[in-house]
């Protein structure tokens, strides 16, 4: 168990936190795991409630989400281990110590998408509407999950004198305790804002299947490209000094923008008609199935 005295000097805030929520005998339950699980459950609930808007069978979607959760956790861990292998090479069993941290968001997204895609194909579901639903779910999980990093006092940024700077026993850079960028907070707030933006856009303005997915690529990719450049614990491509998540994030922004432009004039009457029928928007024509 680790206890940290955390201060936000510019805001006049300070308090003690522990990375352990409670213990049962010699077994400790960490806040990191609890927070990550809470984010996942809320994401699943969102997917379940939103499925009808996309003409997706909620029970089949739930199967995709369950598989995606498992493959997402595996992907997040394997991605992290792959780019930080030197930390695990001498003790491979530590790979299974997920409660101590070491999950990569992009690995989780890749793993979840692969698992969900396979399950969608097995159940003969259209995948783009599922992506639209799950992208908002991802933002929910990411926005909440970053507070697990806070409880572990990890994933912070470089030294700063900004009013919202953070400092604790763990904010060490080159052997010196520094006041740093609270990167967990930047990403959490951006993702939760993204939940509101993409949810309401999907509810009132969406025109075709896949649009929310492309918007997610731009929304999250933009933020991560910037914030990753501040972090002190980035994963790198070999010994190049190139941050893998920063490169991937920039690529996602480009892909998302290109796809939004390519589909600029695309419109599926299903979405407008669904809003009209539910009294949440105006639409014309006969209701059709989503692409």
pTM of the model: 0.88
What pLDDT is attached to residue 267?
93
pLDDT in tens, the chain (291 residues): 689 999 999 999 999 999 999 988 888 888 988 998 999 899 999 999 999 899 999 999 999 999 998 998 899 888 888 877 777 777 777 777 765 667 788 888 899 999 999 999 999 999 999 999 999 999 999 999 999 999 999 989 999 999 999 999 999 999 999 999 999 999 999 999 999 999 999 999 999 999 999 999 999 999 999 999 999 988 888 888 899 999 999 999 999 999 999 999 999 999 989 888 888 865 444 444 554
- Residue among 73, 76, 65 nearest 42 (CA): 65
What pLDDT is attached to residue 291?
47
Parallel, antiparallel or unpaired: strands 27-30 and 20-24: antiparallel
Extended strands (E) in the chain: 3-8, 13-18, 20-24, 27-30, 172-173, 176-177
What pLDDT is attached to residue 285?
42
What pLDDT is attached to residue 284?
45
- Where are the chain's structural domains? 3-278
How far is the C-alpha of 130 from the C-alpha of 56, rounded, in Å? 7
What pLDDT is attached to residue 101?
60
For residues 100 and 80, the answer to whether their CB atoms sit within 8 Å is no
């Amino acid at each position: 168990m680790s206890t940290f005295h955390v201060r936000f000097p510019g805001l006049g805030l300070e308090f003690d936190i522990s990375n352990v929520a409670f213990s049962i005998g010699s077994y400790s339950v960490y806040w990191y795991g609890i927070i990550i699980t809470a984010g996942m459950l809320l994401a699943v609930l969102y997917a379940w409630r939103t499925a009808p808007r996309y003409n997706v069978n909620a029970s089949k979607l739930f199967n995709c989400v369950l598989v995606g959760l498992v493959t997402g956790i595996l992907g997040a861990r394997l991605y992290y281990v792959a780019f930080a292998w030197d930390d695990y090479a001498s003790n491979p069993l530590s790979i299974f110590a997920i409660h101590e941290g070491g999950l990569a968001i992009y690995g989780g997204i890749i793993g979840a998408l692969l698992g969900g895609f396979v399950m969608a194909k097995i159940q003969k579901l259209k995948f783009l509407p599922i992506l639209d639903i799950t992208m908002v779910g991802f933002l929910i999980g990411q926005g909440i999950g970053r507070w697990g990093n806070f409880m572990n006092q990890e994933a912070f940024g470089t030294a700063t004198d900004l009013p919202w700077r953070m400092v604790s026993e763990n904010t060490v850079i080159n052997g010196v305790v520094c006041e740093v960028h609270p990167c967990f907070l930047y990403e959490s707030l951006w993702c939760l804002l993204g939940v509101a933006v993409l949810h309401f856009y999907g509810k009132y303005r969406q025109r075709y299947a896949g649009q929310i997915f492309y918007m997610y690529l731009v929304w999250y990719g933009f933020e991560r490209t910037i914030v990753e450049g501040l972090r002190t614990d980035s994963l790198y491509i070999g010994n190049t000094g190139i941050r893998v998540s920063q490169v991937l994030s920039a690529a996602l922004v480009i892909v998302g923008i290109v796809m939004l432009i390519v589909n600029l004039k695309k419109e599926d009457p299903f979405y407008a008609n669904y809003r009209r029928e539910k009294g949440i928007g105006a639409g014309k024509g006969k209701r059709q199935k989503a692409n």
